[in-house]
Structure 1
Amino acid sequence: MKDLEDRIERAKDGLLEELRDFLRMPSVSASSEDPEGFRACAEWVREKLEAAGAQAEIMETAGHPVVYAEVGSGEKTLLLYGHYDVQPPDPLELWKTEPFEPTVRDGTLYARGVADDKGDVMARIQALRLYTERHGEPPFRLKFLIEGEEEVGSPNLDAFVRENSDRLTADACLWEGSLRDRTGRPEVYCGTKGLAYVELRAKGPDHDLHSMFGGLAPNPAWRLVGALRTIKDERGEITLDGLHELADPPSESDLAALEAIPFDESSLKASWGVESFDRDLTGVDALREYLLAPTANIAGIQSGYTGEGSKTIVPSEAFVKLDFRLVSGQSPDAVVKLLREHLDRRGFTDVEVVDLHGVEAAKTPVDSPVVEQAVAAWDDVGREAVVYPTIGGSGPTALFATGLGIPTVMTGAVANIDSRIHSPNESVRLDDYFETLAYFVRFFERFGR
């Protein structure tokens, strides 16, 4: 352990400057202003992978290219997923320093993308270099897939994975990095929730009417309110027919993992500015709802006049956007079908259901070998990891975990709970970065045994 720490300590300046070079590239996937600059970033990543000993290439998609690399040989295969694109830096006036000029203050590195996901990508590439310098080529196949469109929903990743499924086979996959909690403990995530994102639309008169006709003219806003009340009751419980029956029940290992998660309810409520959780949930019940249960969330409602002052009308149309976070067993397509049938049975055949976006849930058992290796590698660097059976968010993890059947976990923890991911002044602590670099070296060593 000491030898690895010493090697990283001696190389810190160069490792940090390499990371800063990566962060200076404004690879904002939401913008199409500099496609050549974006490709230059992908080429830079490819060159770094080759310098670390891998065979790397740029692979085209309908959007930004994927950087793919392989190194090593053996019976086992490990796939690493990451992304080199970043969020827009706006609003610029809230940054204390330039977002694409990485700046160190008080042991913390500030830059757009340092926590999501360039810090994690760079730590893995540098870890490969440190590993091969000491051990030579890995006694297993190590694959890198680093895409450039994660921050805009990975619109071309599904097609890429399907077209290259033979090349992407693996025994385990490390997704992009996790977080550290406020005590510094790294977290290991074993899954992501699915997502069904829909819009409900209701129509009234073919134009807005004076509200003196409010007792006669059908009001689409009230119509939507009625439809929504059938999806959740007054206690906040989801009442969508058949939704809970689709869900795979949590395992005993999942429930045991919940008991081991340190859950600071007071801090979380204070950070949100609320006095209680929905339905007054507390303790393990709140954690179970957050991690292992589906949700039905109103993301936005629009109808009629909402400007300053008064305008008395019956609106002609109303819209509501709903997102359902789903657990294993609840396919987004099946949930949208359930929603349509549920509304029809209650007389809301006139309310249109528009399917906007769907993502499958992904789940790796908490007692699987890759999770055990992830936790053990944290032990190797002197950290006790916290294992989450899944997280509340969604992502394309299911393309690998479900579609390709690869046990997939999120681990790495370059970032922390206060890293301001997607916000101005995004940051990571340098001590966390270098410790995570050591962690990936230890993970590679364990995987190769």
Structure 2
Amino acid sequence: MTTQKAEWQYIDDHFEDFVSQLREAVRKPSIAAQNIGMDECAEYFRALLESYGIRARIIPTAGHPVVFGEIEGKDRGKTVLFYDHYDVQPPDPLDEWESDPFAGEIRDGKMYGRGVSDNKGNACARIQAVGTLLRLRGELPVNVKFLIEGEEEIGSTHLAEFIRDNKDLLRADYGVWESGYMSPDGRPGMYLGVKGILYIELEAQGPSRDMHSGSAATVPNPAWRLVWALSTIKNEKEEILIPGFYDAVLSPTEREMELIRAAVEGREGRTTGHTASTPRRQYGIHSPLADLSPLDLRVRSLFGPTANICGFRSGYLGEGQKTVLPAKALVKMDFRLVPEQDPEDIYRRLRKHLDDNGFDDIKTRVITMDYPVKTSADHPVVKAAEEAALAVYGKPPSIAPTQGGSGPMHPFKEYLNLPMVAFGVGYWGSGNHGPNENIRLEDYRQGIKMAMDFIDRL
């Protein structure tokens, strides 16, 4: 059975109510890093689930609580688990927002607010989709579960432990990941995995306190020490120089290359007035990092590991002049990893690389790490999502075997063996984590309908 057009009409007729519920969620700050509004937002999502007839409860963890919901379906032998999160990034810098980041302001067909795309829009849309089917039919075709955590934006610190300790509660056959975005060519985007991540700090120590820069002739500068260490990690050709770094990297399969080619051909088409360069121009980037074809750039983006400097701090960075030799230098880095790279193995190789190159004095500290995961493109959950996208949007989705970002997908594979697919209500200009984060309301409407149709096709 597939979703009936009359049920889609119900979404249209009640869309203002759905938007109001999302707006209320956005108006509840839930900044995990600062422990602002977390319990209040968790309670909002518990109540929202319950309002649609979905049994829900808040389950404590060693950090911020998890909201869990479930409802049995007609086919008790099939279960789909929706994973989302209710926590958001801090809204800084506030002066770059055109409206209050927690107002959920609507203008020009978009809703603006911190977390509206990442991830409250998807969480609300999926609850509303399941709740609508339940209201109109009285029962669902399959069992549905919701896991809405509160620590995704701070590394999902306690999620793996929670999944491990609640395997029976969370057991499912299919999973839907928290993110999804419309492509610049107007097609719905689907993702089948995430990159892994190794996020670390490197620190160089100099004198016990900042000194006059006149001492630079005789006193080692930790900032230069750290710069020299960093220069051994990656060269100007974007090649990562850690021995063995690429040993476990897998090339895309033939099926994955088919999906990438189809996505690139759609993005380079002129029918919508958008090309692959449209998102780059939005950020003031006029040329890609490497002089490659669109196809090779896409393969590099999805299947190429990276070494990125996130921030560098040392010495005086205020207005005007202050001539100092800094006492220490600190850099934060992330390595985005691809199947079958192991973040623990990469960290060991990095540490050995620094030591072997004479930088054993550089301190390293792991902040977070997670493993790369992807679902086979031939899995039934992918087919169900692909067919639902075609039914709702009238065009085939742009399917990526993985994505450039990372997330806590590995515990779902390790403890539940759960195949995941990602689709959602964001778009290429949503601006997650930045000022003026937004979604287009029409994407939100269609996203609810796709979640409904997807459930019917499992």
Q: TM-score, length-normalised on structure 1? A: 0.90
**Counterpart Cα distance in 1 of 2:98 and 2:318:** 34
Partner of 2:373: 362
**Counterpart Cα distance in 2 of 1:309 and 1:431:** 48
Q: Check conservation: 1:265, 1:282, Cα contact below 8 A.
A: no
AA paired with 2:408? Answer: P
Partner of 2:300: 289
**Secondary structure at 1:243 match in 2:** coil
Whether 2:226 is the aligned partner of 1:224: answer: yes
AA paired with 2:416? Answer: L
The one-character-per-residue Cα deviations of 1:23-45 (angstroms, maximum 9, x if unpaired) are 333333334355xxx43432332
Q: Check conservation: 1:291, 1:390, Cα contact below 8 A.
A: yes
Matching of residues 278-357 of structure 1 within 5 Å:
278-306=289-317, 314-357=325-368
Partner of 2:67: 67
* Aligned partner of 2:389 among 378, 387, 395: 378
The one-character-per-residue Cα deviations of 1:249-292 (angstroms, maximum 9, x if unpaired) are 32222222221223434334433434432243332221122110
Whether 2:423 is the aligned partner of 1:411: answer: yes
* Aligned partner of 2:277 among 254, 266, 274: 266
Partner of 1:140: 142
AA paired with 1:41? Answer: C
| Residue 335 (structure 1) shift | 0.7
**Secondary structure at 1:384 match in 2:** coil
| Residue 307 (structure 1) shift | 5.0
| Residue 377 (structure 1) shift | 0.6
Q: Taking structure 1 as reference, are residues 271 and 33 closer, same or farther at Cα in structure 2, changes over 3 Å only? A: closer
**Secondary structure at 2:407 match in 1:** coil
Q: Check conservation: 2:176, 2:423, Cα contact below 8 A.
A: yes
- Once structures 1 and 2 are overlaid, which stretch shifts more, 6-15 or 338-347? 6-15
Q: Taking structure 1 as reference, are residues 47 and 202 closer, same or farther at Cα in structure 2, changes over 3 Å only? A: closer
Whether 2:41 is the aligned partner of 1:41: answer: yes
- Once structures 1 and 2 are overlaid, which stretch shifts more, 247-256 or 96-105? 96-105
AA paired with 1:251? Answer: T
**Counterpart Cα distance in 1 of 2:346 and 2:78:** 37
| Residue 95 (structure 1) shift | 4.1
**Counterpart Cα distance in 1 of 2:216 and 2:99:** 54
**Counterpart Cα distance in 1 of 2:419 and 2:190:** 13
- Once structures 1 and 2 are overlaid, which stretch shifts more, 334-343 or 9-18? 9-18
Partner of 1:430: 441
Partner of 2:107: 105
CA-based RMSD: 2.5
Partner of 1:30: 33
**Counterpart Cα distance in 1 of 2:348 and 2:134:** 51
**Counterpart Cα distance in 2 of 1:311 and 1:47:** 55
Partner of 2:272: none
**Counterpart Cα distance in 2 of 1:302 and 1:95:** 26
Partner of 2:271: none
**Counterpart Cα distance in 2 of 1:250 and 1:299:** 28
AA paired with 1:192? Answer: V
Q: TM-score, length-normalised on structure 2? A: 0.88
| Residue 188 (structure 1) shift | 0.4
Matching of residues 136-285 of structure 1 within 5 Å:
136-208=138-210, 214=216, 216-262=218-264, 263=267, 264-285=275-296
- Once structures 1 and 2 are overlaid, which stretch shifts more, 7-16 or 377-386? 7-16
Partner of 1:21: 24
The one-character-per-residue Cα deviations of 1:69-110 (angstroms, maximum 9, x if unpaired) are 111242122110112233334444544444444343343333
**Counterpart Cα distance in 1 of 2:435 and 2:289:** 29
**Counterpart Cα distance in 1 of 2:410 and 2:400:** 17
AA paired with 1:358? Answer: M
**Counterpart Cα distance in 2 of 1:25 and 1:305:** 37
- Once structures 1 and 2 are overlaid, which stretch shifts more, 189-198 or 423-432? 423-432
Partner of 1:58: 58
AA paired with 2:10? Answer: R
**Counterpart Cα distance in 2 of 1:384 and 1:190:** 15
Q: Check conservation: 1:362, 1:402, Cα contact below 8 A.
A: no
| Residue 240 (structure 1) shift | 0.9
**Counterpart Cα distance in 2 of 1:307 and 1:320:** 18
**Counterpart Cα distance in 2 of 1:425 and 1:235:** 34
**Counterpart Cα distance in 2 of 1:210 and 1:26:** 44
| Residue 233 (structure 1) shift | 2.3
Q: Check conservation: 1:364, 1:401, Cα contact below 8 A.
A: no
Q: Check conservation: 2:155, 2:368, Cα contact below 8 A.
A: no
Q: Check conservation: 2:184, 2:276, Cα contact below 8 A.
A: no
| Residue 367 (structure 1) shift | 2.2
- Once structures 1 and 2 are overlaid, which stretch shifts more, 349-358 or 97-106? 97-106
Q: Check conservation: 2:191, 2:400, Cα contact below 8 A.
A: yes
**Counterpart Cα distance in 2 of 1:169 and 1:441:** 21
Partner of 2:127: 125
AA paired with 2:294? Answer: G
Q: Check conservation: 2:183, 2:398, Cα contact below 8 A.
A: no
**Counterpart Cα distance in 2 of 1:100 and 1:13:** 19
**Counterpart Cα distance in 2 of 1:110 and 1:210:** 47
**Counterpart Cα distance in 2 of 1:104 and 1:196:** 37
Count of aligned pairs: 443
Q: Taking structure 1 as reference, are residues 206 and 139 closer, same or farther at Cα in structure 2, changes over 3 Å only? A: same
The one-character-per-residue Cα deviations of 1:185-229 (angstroms, maximum 9, x if unpaired) are 110011111111122223344455555654554443333333222
| Residue 324 (structure 1) shift | 0.7
**Counterpart Cα distance in 2 of 1:340 and 1:23:** 42
The one-character-per-residue Cα deviations of 1:231-253 (angstroms, maximum 9, x if unpaired) are 11232211110110022332222
Q: Taking structure 1 as reference, are residues 41 and 230 closer, same or farther at Cα in structure 2, changes over 3 Å only? A: closer
Of all paired residues, the percent bearing the same amino acid is: 43
Partner of 2:402: 390
The one-character-per-residue Cα deviations of 1:281-309 (angstroms, maximum 9, x if unpaired) are 33222112211011011222333455556
